[in-house]
Structure 1
């Protein structure tokens, strides 16, 4: 057996690429960039996030996400709100227009997930999700206690492309 065939980071990356690929193709057919999907899906439950929190969840650098959020806000998909305790910070929330775009995508994402998970037994699928959630919980950096500020550094791609994202987040 080759080293990579049993190497966890390789297996996770390869599985992510393969699992996400089909859904990313669906997004492409619908004209929705993966980055836009990630932001909307993360905001789906209505909880607003700071740019720093959102960047961590959607696997983008803050400057890249800031530009994407600028475009999404101009398109009416999200809105920024000042944090009352510190007006230098903002939280990003989904709008009604963003939710209207997101709803059919969530249906497609759930269908895609069902198709992928049908490959394994239901108890294996549940175990896989629990193990991955545990890895994320243990390995993710601890919250800093303060909200991360929006970073307006120039020079990043804000078109919603996966320029600095991991191989997929087909949530």
Structure 2
């Protein structure tokens, strides 16, 4: 029990974040699967959708997977024609990965679907509360990233 008498899992931040993430993500991840993508493939494509090339190392932090796994995902996406990798002469993890036109065409409908899904989830809250929630999560991520 927590200090206020609530069960531990109802008051423990890590559990609350994990449970909220699962509840929010599951429905959309079914759409990702129906589009023929895995969650990590979706995350890579979505991350690259801002037209900014990223290294494998940068992608690992954003897509929440270890470097060897992200490298394999990028290899699959490259074989499918969705991304291209500008090879680094010294370290494959430092090569820049970017979307191809085919990758843009593949991810664009999912980005629109993700926005609709988010709007449905956040419709339960007002605009101010939704903005505060996102701001608080961004601040938590920022703080945790800089205090590793």
Distance 2:32 2:87 in 1: 31
Report matched runs for 1:138-149 at 5 Å.
138-141=143-146
Question: Which runs of structure 1 show a deviation greater than 2 angstroms over 4 or more consecutive aligned residues?
Answer: 86-89
What residue number does 1:82 align with? 87
CA RMSD of aligned residues (A): 1.6
Which structure has more helix as a fraction of its residues? 2
- Unaligned 5+ segments in structure 1 are 143-171
Tell me, yes or no, if structure 1 residue 13 matches structure 2 residue 10: no
The alpha-carbon distance between structure 1 residues 82 and 141, as it changes in their structure 2 partners (threshold 3 A), is farther
Structure with the bigger RCO (C-alpha within 8 Å, sep 6+) is 1
Choose from 108, 122, 127 the match for 1:122.
127
Instruction: Work out which of the two has the higher radius of gyration on C-alpha atoms and give 1 or 2.
Output: 2
- Which segment is superposed worse, 110-119 or 88-97? 88-97
- Unaligned 5+ segments in structure 2 are 1-5
Normalised by the size of structure 2, how large is the TM-score?
Answer: 0.90
Distance 1:46 1:29 in 2: 24
* SS across alignment from 1:140: helix
